[in-house]
Chain A
Amino acid sequence: MKKYFYIFKNSLSEYFAYRLNFFLWRLRVIITVLINFFLWQAIFQSNKNVFGYQEPQILTYMILITLIESVVLSTQTQKVAYEINSGALSRLLIVPINFFTFNFIRDLSDKTINTICAMIEIPFLLIILKPPVYIQTNFLWLILFVFTLIFAAIIYFEINMILSFIGFWSKETWAPRFIFYILLMFLAGNYFPLDILPHPLYQIFLLMPFSYLVFFPLKIYLGNLTFSFVFNGLVVALLWIFLLWYFMYFLWNRGLKVYTAEGI
């Protein structure tokens, strides 16, 4: 559909209207990665094996977070809350465009541009830091990695939409989102692989959607997993995708009925 191509193109062009914003966002991603990277490097100086991980594995994990930040965690859906509260949502409701497709395409433009940057940054980081890295050569794991990235992007999209839909009922959408970001940092595996946690806790985390945003895809990339781990993970991720999808639509339909189109 041509219209979606133009939405993609317009979103991209709009992105470049604020170049400084964009560069600062990339800088933030790199700084986060560097901090984690040096922290783990320091830990590995005295140990060969930490929590069952080799140095190359962990460092690869940390560097690949740059990619995850781009493919999975970059989004514009937080705008939706603002659009609901300011009435700007109306401009989408009045034209024959599917609201969710529009937002997904808008996100896609965001992800594309960030992924291109990550592809440039990762080799750059590798050249400068010269870390021992783990390169996955098994095709199966790489394909699975791509799939889990797509799953992760969908889950993240749904959660963000749901958080934005709070805007239908309250002006205060920032607080829940803030809590979500904090949860995300610890539960998704941004700072450390989740399987270094005590076993019962780790099992609980695996049942939550967050672990499928960062930890699960990266774990797949590193490979060497049992069939049951991968299978269970995919099933739980898919379940969350459907559950969140249903909930997202439910809130959307409910929200539209109380939408006031204020301010316009």
Chain B
Amino acid sequence: MSIISVSHLKKYYKIYKRKPGITATFKSLFSRPYETVRAVDDISFEIKKGELVGFIGPNGAGKTTTLKCLSGLLYPSSGDIKVLGFKPFERKSSYLKKISLIMGQKNQLWWDLPAMDTFILNKEVYEINDHDFKSNLAEITHLLDVEDLIYQPVRQLSLGQRMKLELVASLIHKPQVLFLDEPTIGLDVVMQKKMRDFIAEYNKKYKATIILTSHYMSDVKKLCRRIIIINKGKLIYDGNLESLVEKYADTKIITLEINGVFDKKEIPFMGKVKINQEGKIIIIAPKKKTNYIVNKLFRKYELVDLNIEDPEIDDIIRYIFEKK
């Protein structure tokens, strides 16, 4: 059973463009050329219960817009969305009680009050009983290590601290479906890891369905088995990480250390060759020629070390984006 099903979702915006300068400003008083931006352009996918899916795409690809449509903030230009059997845009209370949208730059917390005041309000809004509230709060604040911060006015906290408390506020009702937009933005490395562990734990423990967007590939690599790649509003890839590598990586990276002098011209079809700071030779070889090249290397040189790897996922994804 799909928890989330999106079919042929489109979201177009109208924006008006204006050139810089005073004359352009005056002109814009009388005529405004509008342009349609296809933020999301015919995207379909299904997500099952308990899946943790990573949304990847460059800035402006349509990731956040998709999440906003899923959480009912935006009215789709066309297409159908069903989440937990609800149409998100209707924003029924029973739907909103089961989901949460967490955005790196959004503040749900009351700015001038301690976070605890927001939590108590949320307790009533989501109709959580005293016992659950206490245990949820204790558990989440402990996991995120923010027990001491909940009684301080939010405006006095650092970005990272605030981010963690936003997460507490968004999870206090134990949502079944979670939309996470850049959950690790602005966090230090230690916190990024903690946050990641927390998301993985939450997913496992509550069988929660989670969609996550992130600029940090490490978030996605660590957390998501399935990824959806979006670029310019279109869906480019939907599947697991390993198959992505198989499908798109047409190169292998050969790292070697040799005794003697290396001459690039001795072996044909070699692709790009770099020498790194430690003196290691890095060859980005076409996948089909890898065997051939390695054979040749064995014959020609006295090898100290040899390593063959797939390219980094970041590189593959960059390659996909640049190609399209």
Query: Residues of A at under 8 Å CB distance from B?
Result: 1-3, 5-7, 9-10, 13-14, 17-18, 87-88, 90-91, 93-97, 256-261, 263-264
Contacts of A263 in B (CB 8 A): 105
Could you say which of B49-57, B120-128, B195-203, B206-214 contacts chain A? Answer: B120-128
Chain B nearest CB from A98 CB (Å) reads 9
Alpha-carbon distance between A264 and B13 when the two chains are bound, in angstroms? 16
Partner of A95, one of B89, B96, B110, B113: B96
Do A96 and B105 have beta carbons less than 8 Å apart? no
- With A14-B113, A94-B96, A260-B13 known to touch, is A6 a contact of B124 (CB < 8 Å)? yes
Interface residues of B in 74-117 (CB under 8 A from A): 74-75, 89, 91, 93-94, 96-97, 99-101, 103, 105-108, 110-113, 117
Do A96 and B73 have beta carbons less than 8 Å apart? no
Do A260 and B74 have beta carbons less than 8 Å apart? yes
The residue in chain B whose Cβ has the minimal distance to the Cβ of A14 is B112
Partner of B121, one of A10, A258, A259: A10
Do A96 and B117 have beta carbons less than 8 Å apart? no
Partner of A6, one of B91, B100, B111, B121: B121
Alpha-carbon distance between A9 and B113 when the two chains are bound, in angstroms? 11
Chain A nearest CB from B66 CB (Å) reads 12
Do A261 and B73 have beta carbons less than 8 Å apart? yes
Partner of A259, one of B73, B101, B103, B118: B73
Do A94 and B101 have beta carbons less than 8 Å apart? yes
Given contacts A95-B125, A96-B96, list 4 more A-B pairs with CB under 8 A. A93-B73, A93-B91, A259-B73, A261-B74
Leading 4 A-B pairs by shortest Cβ distance: A3-B124, A17-B112, A96-B93, A257-B75
Chain A nearest CB from B102 CB (Å) reads 10
Contacts of A1 in B (CB 8 A): 124
Chain B nearest CB from A170 CB (Å) reads 11
Do B121 and A3 have beta carbons less than 8 Å apart? yes
B193 at the interface (CB under 8 A from A): no
Contacts of A3 in B (CB 8 A): 121, 124-125
Do A259 and B75 have beta carbons less than 8 Å apart? yes
Do B113 and A10 have beta carbons less than 8 Å apart? yes
Alpha-carbon distance between A96 and B100 when the two chains are bound, in angstroms? 11
How many A-B Cβ pairs are below 8 Å? 77
Partner of B72, one of A87, A88, A94: A94
The residue in chain B whose Cβ has the minimal distance to the Cβ of A11 is B110
- With A13-B117, A264-B106 known to touch, is A93 a contact of B124 (CB < 8 Å)? no
Do A2 and B124 have beta carbons less than 8 Å apart? yes
Partner of B117, one of A10, A256, A259: A10
Do A96 and B97 have beta carbons less than 8 Å apart? yes
Alpha-carbon distance between A3 and B120 when the two chains are bound, in angstroms? 9
Do B74 and A97 have beta carbons less than 8 Å apart? no
Chain A nearest CB from B114 CB (Å) reads 9
Chain B nearest CB from A101 CB (Å) reads 11
Alpha-carbon distance between A53 and B131 when the two chains are bound, in angstroms? 64
- With A13-B117, A14-B113, A91-B107 known to touch, is A97 a contact of B73 (CB < 8 Å)? no
Alpha-carbon distance between A6 and B110 when the two chains are bound, in angstroms? 12
Alpha-carbon distance between A90 and B70 when the two chains are bound, in angstroms? 13
Contacts of A13 in B (CB 8 A): 112-113, 117
Partner of A91, one of B96, B106, B117: B106
User: Which of B112, B120, B121 has its CB near the most chain A CB atoms (within 10 A)?
Assistant: B121
Do B75 and A256 have beta carbons less than 8 Å apart? yes
21 contacts between A and B (CB under 8 A): A1-B124, A3-B121, A6-B117, A9-B117, A13-B112, A13-B113, A14-B110, A14-B111, A17-B153, A18-B112, A90-B73, A90-B103, A90-B106, A93-B72, A94-B73, A96-B94, A96-B96, A256-B89, A259-B75, A260-B74, A263-B105
The residue in chain B whose Cβ has the minimal distance to the Cβ of A1 is B124
Partner of B120, one of A6, A95, A97: A6
B251 at the interface (CB under 8 A from A): no
Alpha-carbon distance between A5 and B117 when the two chains are bound, in angstroms? 12
Chain A nearest CB from B53 CB (Å) reads 20
B176 at the interface (CB under 8 A from A): no
- With A3-B125, A91-B108, A96-B125 known to touch, is A264 a contact of B103 (CB < 8 Å)? yes
The residue in chain A whose Cβ has the minimal distance to the Cβ of B122 is A95
Do A94 and B122 have beta carbons less than 8 Å apart? no
User: Which of B93, B107, B124 has its CB near the most chain A CB atoms (within 10 A)?
Assistant: B124
B71 at the interface (CB under 8 A from A): yes
Alpha-carbon distance between A3 and B105 when the two chains are bound, in angstroms? 25
The residue in chain A whose Cβ has the minimal distance to the Cβ of B89 is A256
Alpha-carbon distance between A10 and B113 when the two chains are bound, in angstroms? 8
Alpha-carbon distance between A6 and B97 when the two chains are bound, in angstroms? 18
B215 at the interface (CB under 8 A from A): no
Contacts of A261 in B (CB 8 A): 68, 73-74
Alpha-carbon distance between A258 and B72 when the two chains are bound, in angstroms? 13
User: Which of A2, A5, A93 has its CB near the most chain B CB atoms (within 10 A)?
Assistant: A93
Alpha-carbon distance between A258 and B77 when the two chains are bound, in angstroms? 9
The residue in chain A whose Cβ has the minimal distance to the Cβ of B108 is A91
Chain B nearest CB from A2 CB (Å) reads 5
The residue in chain B whose Cβ has the minimal distance to the Cβ of A3 is B124
The residue in chain B whose Cβ has the minimal distance to the Cβ of A15 is B112
Contacts of A258 in B (CB 8 A): 75
Contacts of A14 in B (CB 8 A): 110-113
Contacts of B13 in A (CB 8 A): 260
The residue in chain A whose Cβ has the minimal distance to the Cβ of B73 is A261
